[in-house]
Structure 1
Amino acid sequence: MSSHHIVKDKQEPALLIANGAACKFELMEELLGWSPYVVVLDGAIDRVLSLGIKVDVLLGDFDKGGVKVDKIKEEQFPIEIVHTPDQDKTDLEKGIEFLIEKGFPAVNILWATGRRMDHTIANLLNLIKYNSKIKLVMLDDYSKIIPLEPGVTKFEKWYKAGTVISLIPVPKAEKIETSNLKYQLDSETLEIGLRLGNSNEVEKDGLMSVKFEKGKLFLMECND
């Protein structure tokens, strides 16, 4: 599988590949079909290159060794190598900040879940940390995870009836209003340890919306 990038004024979301569990070929191919700017964290580079993917940026602290930078430069020319030695931030944080500095409005993140649970949790929380600065979506074979922001703007998207939608607060979201869900929320609160909004579903084909006034909230499109 290869990708030849034609990025016009950063209009399409960048693709950031972390070092968690790999996804199916079809999901990777779908996202590469947008001809994105591809950033790969150093721990994943060998697995990514084995798939024949053209990489624009290799980023990380390179603390584990084993990354053959000179060979990668030659094979992936004109790849950019970005050394980020700051040990107070994860490589995913550095990757997101790099794309913010580059001026990208959005990024799809792959291979950021699975394998080590501490990494998965940290990666999810980083969606909340940076979501006000860049539009973030994290995907794997079973979930599409979208961090939502509170305020007057509502999230709205067309779904098929029966699509599983989970609303997970981080740690609390207040005055939540939804439409076109089987179990509607009407100015209600979700809070970790008290009430979660997991395994809801879209009532009928059409637009589903979520709006809330305070806190942080994940919307997860899930499948088995």
Structure 2
Amino acid sequence: MKAIIVTGGDIDLSSLADYIEKNKDNIIISVDAAIKNLEKINVLPDIMVGDFDTLDDDERLEKYASLDVEIVKHDPVKDFSDSELAVDRAVEAGIKDIAVFGAMGKRFDHAFANVLILQKYKKLGVDITVYDKYNKIYVKSNHFTLEKDKLWGKYISFFSLECKSFMKKLSGVKYPIENRMIDSIATPSLYISNEMNGDRLEAVFGGDLLVVESRD
């Protein structure tokens, strides 16, 4: 089983609705005021998580509780963001594959924290993918392949989450790599905006890489 977490950032509702339609058996978790976006596309969540300070609507919470939606309410004074608490709730249910929508909103602090969450849970064996209209963001470890027809957009970029990562091979792209270091301090933008020029990308490397598939 997988989970779809909808947070309070900017969301392309058509992309969200399409993803939910194609993944009907997934658990849907609404974070704080994100329920307003789910209402716009007539989607009932399974779980609502947050301190609900931005929602501030007890009647709405009571309504969803009466519809058998699980309400997980946290104190506003806490050590974790609502998004991270939503991921924790999914992991508690034994879910290891999570899609997140709305994580890249106006607040950079929240967006950056959400990116760091990807690495935290990757080390715990949980795969999280963040989607917005222009980007698909995830963490990969050691080796992966990607088919061109599954690419989110035209571009693919790589960033080391451990300061330095050794890329043994990156093939199937316009700018291949062989036995080079991805160094987030010395050359932070060197490996952005690559493009696939074959049917299949293959990457062999050490450590954790943040991968961004993007389109204009």
TM-score between both structures, scaled by the size of structure 1:
0.85
**2:32–2:53 contact (8 Å) kept in structure 1:** no
> 1:53 offset after TM fit, Å?
0.8
Identity %: 23
1:203 paired with 2:203, answer no
> 1:102 offset after TM fit, Å?
0.3
Q: Distance in 2 between matches of 1:182 and 1:199?
A: 10
Could you tell me which of 54, 77, 98 is aligned with 2:89?
98
Q: Distance in 2 between matches of 1:145 and 1:65?
A: 27
Could you tell me which of 71, 86, 107 is aligned with 1:81?
71
Structure 2 counterpart of 1:208, one-letter code: L
- Counterpart for residue 41 of structure 1: 31
Structure 1 counterpart of 2:73, one-letter code: H
Q: Distance in 2 between matches of 1:90 and 1:47?
A: 19
Structure 1 counterpart of 2:132, one-letter code: D
**2:157–2:213 contact (8 Å) kept in structure 1:** yes
C-alpha spacing 1:97/1:202, structure 2 compared with 1 (3 Å): same
> 1:28 offset after TM fit, Å?
1.0
**2:135–2:212 contact (8 Å) kept in structure 1:** yes
- Counterpart for residue 191 of structure 1: 183
Q: How does 1:55-204 map to 2 (within 5 A)?
A: 55-64=45-54, 66-67=56-57, 68-74=60-66, 77-85=67-75, 87-133=78-124, 134-150=126-142, 154-160=143-149, 163-176=154-167, 177-195=169-187, 196=189, 197-204=191-198
Residue 32 of structure 1: SS of its match in structure 2?
A: helix
Gaps of 5+ in 1: 1-9
CA RMSD of superposed structures (Å): 1.9
- Counterpart for residue 5 of structure 1: none
Residue 141 of structure 1: SS of its match in structure 2?
A: coil
Could you tell me which of 16, 29, 47 is aligned with 1:28?
16
- Counterpart for residue 205 of structure 2: 212
Q: Distance in 2 between matches of 1:53 and 1:132?
A: 32
Structure 2 counterpart of 1:212, one-letter code: F
> 1:64 offset after TM fit, Å?
4.3
Task: Kindly indicate which of the two structures has a greater share of residues assigned to helix.
Answer: 2
Q: Deviations over 1:4-54 (max 9, x none)?
A: xxxxxx2xx2100111111141x1122112112100101312232232111
Residue 72 of structure 1: SS of its match in structure 2?
A: helix
Q: Deviations over 1:139-176 (max 9, x none)?
A: 000011111123xxx11110159931111222524221
Q: Distance in 1 between matches of 2:13 and 2:87?
A: 23
- Counterpart for residue 16 of structure 1: 5
TM-score between both structures, scaled by the size of structure 2:
0.87
Q: Distance in 2 between matches of 1:184 and 1:65?
A: 47
> 1:65 offset after TM fit, Å?
5.5
